[in-house]
Every structure is written in C-alpha cells, then in structure tokens.
Structure 1
C-alpha cells in the first residue's frame, strides 16, 4: 500500500532591509529600558539613610532613562529618513492605505483569523492590514507623543535657557495644564505601548506557529518565507 505525498514548496521574498531590522531591535531594547526606568521614576525605591551622594541608584535610573530616550529619538529620526529612501515596505507603517476598501476587507479578515473564525490568514509580503493599522495609530503616534512629552518633561530639568524647554516645555506643558498632567499622560501612554508590545510579541509568535508565513525570522534575516504555494485572491 503506497501513500501519496504532496510536494511542499517554500517561497521567500526579501522584505526588510538592514536599517529597518537594526532599528527594530535597537528600538525594542530602548523601549524596554525606558519602560522599566520610567516605572521606577514614577514609583521610586524607598528612601535610605545617609547622604544622597552615597546612594545614587535613582540617579543611574534617570541616566539610563534619558540615554535610552535619546537612542530612541535618533533611531526614530533614522527610521523616518529610511521611509523615504528604503523600499516600499519601509514606508508601510507610515502610509497605510486606509482609503482603499480592500485594505479594510483585509483588516476584517485578519480580525476573524485572530478570533479563530476563519481557518487561515492571507499572504502578505509586509505587514498585514490589521498590523499596519495598529502600528500606525498606536505605535507610530504613540512614539511621537512619548517623544514630545518626554522632551517637555526633560526640559524642566535642563532649565528655561535650554532648547528642550524653548521648543517643547514652553508650549506642551501649558497645553496639558500643568507638569503633573504631562507626567500622567506620559505614563498612561507608556502602559498603552506596553500592551501593544505584549500583543505584538503574541501575534508574531502565533503567526510563526500557525500561519503560512514567517515573522520573527523575517525581522532577523529580512526574508519572509511562505510555507506553501497557494495564491490568495
């Protein structure tokens, strides 16, 4: 008795260029450092006895926070630049085609896929429509908000004669009402980005396991692998 074996075909497409992959991982580590140190800045360690200069723990926490913030900002500026000079996938999270009906049909299909209602996802070389939508509205604008409010709060420490105060603190803090309000919103969006990161990691792992296409490996090598040769409509 013989068993018929269906041939397995694998496709691979080069998606993410090296600058995009480098930015992704540097940005990820910077966000982790910012979230941990940002939480500790808002909920500092208990006071200890003795001179403050002998216990510089919170000083190091703040230094790591500020250094990570500048790394994130420089990386973000580089990522915006690469959106102009890189391939079409480098621009995807900046310009999701929200004006196209097919895009929203893809969003609905991906929602059904994540809800385990449809049996399989569609093939996408870059981000699927749902991922592009969330990356744009939650991650991209969340990052812009955190950079602006972070610079405004930092400007309070650098003083009224600093460029951070002139360009950011001078108008952002009055816009929100007072400094504490900026702190509150800065911290709230931090938790939103933490929830985004958890969902992002879950979705990437889920797609690598359940779908017909690679995700995590793509952000390491740049190549997206499709595990069969079926074409979507």
Structure 2
C-alpha cells in the first residue's frame, strides 16, 4: 500500500484478508534471538494482547527482526493458538520516506466481542504515529511520559494507530491505540503491569507507590489534625484553666502538633496537584477528577448509583474510581482546599503585622468574623469524619461484593480482575 492510501482514489481498494484470533498455532519456543518485546501502553480500550496483535500485523514471510519478535510474543499471549497476523505483501506499505508502515486488513476485531472491521494499521515511530492520529494534548502527554519510562529501561516504543474503512471504502480518521515496547535482547529486565495469576484472574497494578504513600500520610495527618483540633476547640482531658490550677503547656503542644500537621497537609496537597499535571499514570491525572467526558458517563453514574442503593445487582466495572467516587473525591479535594484556606486565615491573625502575606491571608477574618470561621473550620472537620466512616464502609463493601482486592490495593497497589473483563476506564483485560 502506498503513501497515497488516504486519498479518495485509494480509499476504496481494501483487499479482503481475515484475521482469526484463535487460529491453530505452535507453542514451541521460537522467540527471536535479536529483539524482545516487553509490554507497552494502551491508550484506548484495547487489552495489551489486542494491541500486540495489531502491532504484529506484517507481510507474509517477513524476515524483519521486529516482526518476528512480535509474532513470537503472540504464541505466549494466546494459550489456544496465536492469531494469524500475516497479510499479502501488496497489502503492506513499508516505511519508505516516513517513519511508520501501513497495513490493510479485513475482518479484524478490535475487541474480543466487537464487530469485524476493515482497518488500516499505522505502526512505527511513536511521535510520527501520534501525528498521523492527531492525538489530543492530554493523551499525547500521557503517552510521552509512559514512553519516557520505557525508554529508561532501554525500550523503543512502537506506536500503533488504526483507521476504519467504511462501507463506502473511505478511510476514517486514525485513532491512537498505544505502543508496544521492543529492544535488543540482553539490555535489562522488563517490568510488567499485568501479572497472570491463573487462567481466570489477572492482577492489574493500579496505584503507584507515591500515591499510596500520600494516601496513608493523608490518613495520619487528618487523624492528627482532628484529634488536636477537637482538643483545641474543647479540651477533653488534662488540667484546664477552669479548674483553677496550673495548666502547664499541654494546649501549647496541641497547637504545635496541629499547626505542624496542617502545614504538612498543605504540602501534600501541593504535591498531589503537581502529580495531577505531570504523572505518567492515567489514574493520577487531573482528568480522573471529573467523570463526565462523554454522553455514556451519565448513564454509568446512574447505574453506579443504582448499585449503591441496591436497586441494581451490579454497576459498571471500573479499575480505579467509578463516577460516584470521582465526584465524591473531587468534592473532598475542594472542601479540603477551603479547610486549608480557613486554617491559614485563623493562623495568620497573630502575624498580620509581620508581612503583607499574612495580612492578606487573614482577610476572611474581617469579612466573616473569627467566630464564624472557627465554626466553619469545625463543621468541615465533622464532614471529614463522616466521609472517613462512609469511605471505610464502602471500601470494604465493594471489596466483599466485587472480590477484586480493592482494600489491599492501597497497600500493594494492585487489584484483581477476571480475564476478559472490560472495565470502563481501562483496556480489556
């Protein structure tokens, strides 16, 4: 296929070539001695096996080391036989004058239960393929960050994009699917996100070590601030002034611990906000704070709410946070930001003469009054208590009903999904 594939004259010529996903194949050790395949990253709804299948589409009898390595990897990904990914040479346009190849193929299923499609697959240099697919800025950033991580382990990222051929023979726009990692053998160990645990279950690494650390640090800080803050509001143990005896410095220590934990909490919030815009992890990006990105998301929210209210047997499957959780956690972040600002305003009162910054932060005291701010501060504390109680209950309830290891995921970072599951927020497992 030539570079003019996307012109109107060439769009109608798409020869029929079937791909049988479970065609008989050899399971013998035929791994290439030159190139190894080490996972990758799916930016759409494809499982890694489907993405690898797309990347492996190549001309019949190809001796290219990358083609051989990709096809050999398929024999280990498909237990019942590797898919036939070879196409006639006339249906394959090699990367001449550009940094990606093009392959035409028919009766190709993007997902296990999807329809048969006529497709054109672009495969090659990641940046070049992203340009062909006209990837949006957010997705481009996510792909680059994951590619950077793979590059640090010696991998080159083989970008994959697809375009569907319509019934009229016209080629639609290219859609970015992700990339597959390849590198010369002997250059290091590969890290995998998906760990096969049995024929039926797959462990999926979801939460990074950094996020888990911030989560438990948040727990510690919120408990510390709650206990000390409640004591500052209502000293519930120790000697008090009202008993007419020397009270010592207990209140001073409580205030010191409260302020130290509060400023640490603010630092944690800044780090989390920074991660939202710089992380390579799709589940840590700012887009995960808002569930409504397409029309179907409103239906998913309604179904999730029905499952929580026991009106439905089960809701849509999510690897990370479902729409109701996303809205709740986003609300908690907003409330937490207000709590930080109110706390800073109260803390700034004795320091207004020190510098203009403290004077500015103390402004809410003059607008609403100190008693009102203290009451707001206490009310938000009680809201956090209510959230924590509901959060613990719902986490254990979800873990017991879905049996995916969601509670332990905040310790080890992984959840378990049945093989063949199709989460809303992740590729097919």
TM over 0.5, yes or no? Answer: yes
1:207-218 equivalences under 5 Å are 207-218=398-409
User: 2:123 maps to what in 1?
Assistant: none
Higher radius of gyration, 1 or 2: 2
Instruction: Give how far 1:186 is off.
Output: 1.0
| Aligned-partner Cα distance in 1 for 2:214–2:318 | 21
Q: Residue 289 of structure 2: SS of its match in structure 1?
A: coil
User: 1:17 maps to what in 2?
Assistant: 208
1:51-130 equivalences under 5 Å are 51-52=246-247, 55-86=248-279, 87-91=281-285, 95-130=289-324
1:120-199 equivalences under 5 Å are 120-137=314-331, 139-162=332-355, 165-169=358-362, 171-175=363-367, 177-199=368-390
| Aligned-partner Cα distance in 2 for 1:17–1:167 | 37
| Aligned-partner Cα distance in 2 for 1:98–1:181 | 35
The reply to whether residue 225 of structure 1 matches residue 416 of structure 2 is yes
Q: Residue 226 of structure 1: SS of its match in structure 2?
A: strand
CA, structure 1 residues 92+124, in 2 after alignment: closer, same or farther (shift >3 Å)? farther
Q: Residue 152 of structure 1: SS of its match in structure 2?
A: helix
Q: Which stretches in structure 2 are left out of the alignment for 5+ residues? A: 1-197, 425-429
| Aligned-partner Cα distance in 2 for 1:185–1:93 | 29
Instruction: Give how far 1:58 is off.
Output: 1.3
Instruction: Give how far 1:101 is off.
Output: 2.7
Instruction: Give how far 1:97 is off.
Output: 3.2
What RMSD over aligned residues (CA atoms) do the two structures have, in Å? 2.2
Instruction: Give how far 1:225 is off.
Output: 1.5
Higher relative contact order (Cα pairs below 8 Å, separated by 6+ residues):
1
Higher helix share: 1
After superposing the two structures, state which structure 1 stretch, 69-78 or 89-98, moved more.
89-98
> C-alpha deviations, 1:60-88, integer Å up to 9, x for none?
11111111101111111111111112112
| Aligned-partner Cα distance in 2 for 1:84–1:133 | 19
Instruction: Give how far 1:26 is off.
Output: 0.1
TM-score computed with the length of structure 1 as normaliser: 0.86
Q: Which stretches in structure 1 are left out of the alignment for 5+ residues? A: 1-6
Instruction: Give how far 1:232 is off.
Output: 5.9
TM-score computed with the length of structure 2 as normaliser: 0.48
> C-alpha deviations, 1:178-202, integer Å up to 9, x for none?
1111111111111111111111111
Q: Residue 415 of structure 2: SS of its match in structure 1?
A: strand
CA, structure 1 residues 107+92, in 2 after alignment: closer, same or farther (shift >3 Å)? farther
Would the aligned equivalents of 2:306 and 2:312 in 1 still touch at CA under 8 Å?
Answer: yes
After superposing the two structures, state which structure 1 stretch, 20-29 or 9-18, moved more.
9-18
> C-alpha deviations, 1:120-174, integer Å up to 9, x for none?
232212111100011112x1101100100000001113343146622311x2223
After superposing the two structures, state which structure 1 stretch, 108-117 or 202-211, moved more.
108-117
| Aligned-partner Cα distance in 2 for 1:160–1:94 | 42
Higher strand share: 2
